[in-house]
Amino acid sequence: MTIDMTTALDHLVSGTLQQAGAFALTLIVGGAGWLYRSTPGRAARAKLARILDPRRAPQVRPAPDGRRKPSTSCRRGKGRRKPPRR
């Protein structure tokens, strides 16, 4: 029972390739998850979520006047700000 060297090598290579592919996939997914967790700010996270999965992306839309309003969480503990007297 002799297996010629080429088939053995082929099997070895294909196995390694499969493993490498799986590893790469894990790395990519893991890296994406890590990036998703480590990015500060909701907009960045929403952007990443949109890249990763278009369906479950929280929509971040700019204010009607075009600038992005800071979220209410930025104004924590500032109390009621009265507008300047004109």
pLDDT tens, position by position, 14-35: 667 667 666 666 766 666 666 6
Percent of the chain with pLDDT over 90: 0
In a domain, 76, yes or no: no
Number of domains in the chain: 1
In-domain check, residue 80: no
Q: Using alpha carbons only, how large is the chain's radius of gyration in Å?
A: 25
Q: Look at residue 16 in the predicted model and tell me its pLDDT.
A: 73
Full domain range(s) for residue 34: 16-58
Q: 68 pLDDT exceeds 70?
A: no
Which two structure tokens, joined as six digits, stand for 28?
């990519």
Decide if pLDDT at 66 tops 70.
Answer: no
Is residue 79 domain-resident? no
Q: Is 48 exposed, middle or buried (0-12, 13-18, 19+ CB in 10 A)?
A: middle
Judge whether 42 and 60 are in contact, CB under 8 Å.
yes
Average pLDDT over residues 37-63: 63
Residue 38's alpha-carbon distances to 16, 30, 79, 85, in angstroms, are 32, 12, 30, 42
Copy the structure tokens of residue 66. Answer: 């075009």
Position 36 in a domain: yes
